[in-house]
Amino acid sequence: MRTPTASGLDDVVAAETVLSDVDGEAGQLVIRGHTVEQLVATSTFEDIVGLMWNGAMPGASEREALRASLARARQDAFRMLPSLGGGLDAPDAMSALRTSVAHLWATGDPREDRIRLTAAIPVFGAAWHRAKAGQPAVKPDATRTHAADYLQMLSGSAPEAGQIAGLDAYLCCVVDHGMNASTFVARAVASTGSDMVSAIVAAIGALKGPLHGGAPGPVLDMLDAIGDPDRARGWLEAELAAGRRIMGMGHRIYRVRDPRAAALERAAANLEHGSTATDRLIMARVVEREAERLLMERHPGRNLRANVEFYTAVLLEAVGVPRTLFSATFAASRVVGWCAHVDEQRQVGRLIRPKSRYVGPM
Ligand code: COA
């Protein structure tokens, strides 16, 4: 009997991992033993880096050592800017990242490669953004945390504590998510024995797609286009009638609301000092409710609910990240997960090599 084709590889288990577990029925994401809600509420980016790469939450001195290593590596990445050729001329940030990160050489030391890759992404992303605006790149500040320095490299001025906390919450939220498309790509490259830089460049290419990491920019475009909460239903109906997908809704794995949507919605609300939500947040909540209702009518039983991208858009806008950099900011966090998966895949030491079924002429 012929094996059925697993188009989309739904339900195919391609690896065992200690890094994260996604329970799509319960709506639970566990990252190295911690729920995503816990991590978002209590951790910084440096904590998550230590957790992902070393298996446990770092203590104060390890956290400071990680912060300092990342800060030094951001300065090294900054010094590379003049040698990136046309990388930063790319029309979109993800193309710029893919091309610029490809300029790094792998050292062969996984600890060194992970730090250099993680540091390079915000430096290259911020430099791309400023070049597009006709502004000079801002030198990294070695005294800052990763999140604070990213915001400073974007705007050129010192970020507020609330902005830093909001960005840290985001970076903790999206660091890893099971065998998503970009992680699978990174692991497939690693399984060939190729180097870490090549695996991360390939993963950036996968994350760029709108069905994976490219949705939050379009979510804001949608909120802008709707303009007024009263217009939400009509606008969404017209989109669906035209055969277009509602960005930020639906997920391959979750059959309930993505737990990261709730964590990011809460982080966005906290930015307002726990009191009133911004107009954007109010609008997003109305649009989410209407989209959920319409998708339920069209696909009863499928339960298409808000995914991570929906409130990513609201939170990142509120902390001052421009929408053209939303996917690149996703990459600034997910690179930590990709690197951990590359290391894990290397331990497996087995080539990932599925089959295809030939249906052309003989
Ligand atoms: N808007 C409208 N329709 C949607 C939808 C959306 N956001 N998401 C899924 N659907 C529809 C599909 O077109 C499909 O319809 P069909 O059966 O008539 O062909 C049905 O719902 C079931 O789709 P499903 O199998 O659940 O989708 P998937 O697993 O292939 O895709 C996504 C998952 C994430 C790619 C999909 O939900 C999507 O495109 N969402 C919008 C983009 C987005 O937010 N991406 C970020 C993901 S984190």
Query: What pLDDT is attached to residue 7?
Result: 84
281 neighbors 59 (Cβ within 8 angstroms): no
Mutational test site, ligand 1, from 12, 182, 245, 253, max ligand atoms within 8 Å of CB: 245
15 pLDDT exceeds 90?
yes
Q: Calculate how far, in angstroms, residue 105's C-alpha sits from the geometric centre of ligand 1.
A: 37
Write down the pTM of the prediction.
0.93
Query: What pLDDT is attached to residue 35?
Result: 97
Query: What pLDDT is attached to residue 362?
Result: 94
DSSP H or E segment with residue 38: helix 36-42
Query: What pLDDT is attached to residue 6?
Result: 81
Q: Which residues are catalytic?
A: 251, 309
Query: What pLDDT is attached to residue 273?
Result: 55
Residue-by-residue DSSP string for 273-327 = TTSPPPHHHHHHHHHHHHHHHHHHHHSTTT---B-HHHHHHHHHHHHT--GGGHH
319 neighbors 170 (Cβ within 8 angstroms): yes
Weakest mean pLDDT among 200-204, 215-219, 236-240, 242-246? 215-219
Tell me if 244 CB under 6 Å of ligand 1.
no
- In ligand 1, the atom with minimum distance to the C-alpha of 250 is 37
Tell me if 29 CB under 6 Å of ligand 1.
no
Tell me if 231 CB under 6 Å of ligand 1.
no
Residue nearest to atom 31 of ligand 1 (CA): 252
Q: Calculate how far, in angstroms, residue 166's C-alpha sits from the geometric centre of ligand 1.
A: 28
Query: What pLDDT is attached to residue 4?
Result: 75
Residue-by-residue DSSP string for 42-103 = H--HHHHHHHHHHSS---HHHHHHHHHHHHHHHHHHHHHGGGSTTGGG-SSHHHHHHHHHTT
The pLDDT-based confidence of 211 (bands split at 50, 70, 90) is: confident
The pLDDT-based confidence of 146 (bands split at 50, 70, 90) is: very high
Report pLDDT digits (tens) over 227-286: 999 999 999 999 999 999 999 999 989 999 999 999 999 999 988 654 445 789 999 999
Tell me if 289 CB under 6 Å of ligand 1.
no
Weakest mean pLDDT among 52-56, 273-277, 280-284, 317-321? 273-277
Cα–Cα distance for residue pair 161/177, rounded to 1 Å: 27
Mean pLDDT along residues 110-132: 97
Q: Calculate how far, in angstroms, residue 150's C-alpha sits from the geometric centre of ligand 1.
A: 32
Tell me if 309 CB under 6 Å of ligand 1.
yes
Cα–Cα distance for residue pair 64/113, rounded to 1 Å: 19
85 pLDDT exceeds 90?
no
Mean pLDDT of the chain: 94
